[in-house]
Amino acid sequence: MHQSTDPQPIAAADAPWSLRMAASALARYTLSQGQWDYRDGLLFNGILRVWERTRDESLWKSLTSYVNHHVDPSGRIDKHSSEEFNLDHVNPGKLLFPLYRATGRERYRRAIWALRDQLRQQPRTSEGGFWHKKVYPFQMWLDGIYMAAPFYAEFASTFNEPAAYADVAFQVISIERHTRDPRSGLLYHAWDESRQQRWAHPETGCSPHFWSRGMGWFSMALVDVLDHFPEDTVERRELVAILARAADAVARVQDGGTGLWWQVLDQGERPGNYREASGTCMFVYAIAKAVRRGYLDESWSAVASRGFEGTLDHLVTVDGRGGIDLHQTCASAGLGGDPYRDGSYEYYVSERTADNDLHGVGAFILAAVEMESVAVSASPRPRSRDGTHGPVAAK
């Protein structure tokens, strides 16, 4: 991390992939340019998971530095306005819990409670589902389930708010009910209760396509929420059932040749479509973790393994210093806004891709940690030492 101390060294070539990517990402990361943002939160959630496996103090120091840079001693979060009611801003708040448990400091507790208060006042659909943002009225996005639900569940567990669990489960159940396609089992990116958006189907309110990272956000949210959900409850059983349905749908659209997943999940080799890094890594993470936690049986390890090996084969390169680069991540995608994003196939495949984008890097680290945890064919061999992209890296 570029700050007053020396940059993180690149990890040894025989180190686990999770540590190699974490070290490479931190060597590129500039603390002063970072933000209290869901992308940074995703990266540092990956860093946290690697620290939990390795107890590498440099990783804990980097995590602490990131949080302390944005949360002042009084607990105020830099540039965070709860009045924006943006679920994306909740995601980095997941990092506050381990720091609070380790130190007991009020700055972390107050920041946690500020985000909980945002959720308490977050605008909702008529049924009670969180709007993704105040500026996107009546809309639930798959992205928002990952941004808020795991934080909400961990808050309920940490601060003994059992009534919150039903609300957490409702957010997941509600969006699945509204966005799940009964034929494929895949979930559309978003749902507009008002049916006013140009992207919304006039009858269902759904956006028109199945976006890889949107479904990835949802899949990761499920396995993370279950970490904090009470055992032996009806809601927990329903969340596990939703996870199984999602995994089954995702597995059916995995690319047979590479093990990767497409930017538009069900459109295969339609012109313009491409195999996308962040969604692929999110699916690997969710499925591998579901196997480790017993939500899916061992046969599912093969699905995760194919995805991770495909990522290493086609989307990862190693530079001359041993730094790890990840290619072909969709840099950004959404709906509505100005200029207007219409959710069309052409829209999703035309958004730019980027190397070492935090959406992909954070998801890769999480996927690697889980692959190493379940020990399913996570090959340690380096790929593409000449720094060239794999065969699917260019559209």
**DSSP E strand boundaries for 263-330:** 316-318, 324-326, 329-330
H/E segment holding residue 190: strand 190-192
Q: How far apart are CA 41 and CA 178, in angstroms?
A: 27
Q: Are 266 and 349 in contact (CB under 8 A)?
A: no
Residues 6+ apart with CB under 8 A from 182: none
Residues 6+ apart with CB under 8 A from 185: 245, 246, 248, 249, 252
Residues 6+ apart with CB under 8 A from 229: 153, 165, 168, 169, 235, 236, 239
Q: How far apart are CA 96 and CA 234, in angstroms?
A: 29
Identified catalytic residue from 40, 143, 325, 357: 143
Task: Count Cα neighbours of 220 within 13 Å in the Cβ-side half-sphere.
Answer: 32
H/E segment holding residue 140: strand 139-141
Q: How far is CA 152 from the centre of its chain?
A: 16
Burial 109-139 (b: 16+ CB within 10 A, else e): bbbbebbbebbeebebbeeebbbbbeebebb
Active site residue 143: yes
H/E segment holding residue 179: helix 164-179
Q: How far is CA 299 from the centre of its chain?
A: 24
Q: Are 287 and 247 in contact (CB under 8 A)?
A: yes
With both helix axes pointing from N to C terminus, report the angle between 17-28 and 57-70 in degrees, rounded to the nearest 10: 40
Q: Are 289 and 370 in contact (CB under 8 A)?
A: yes
Catalytic residues: 143
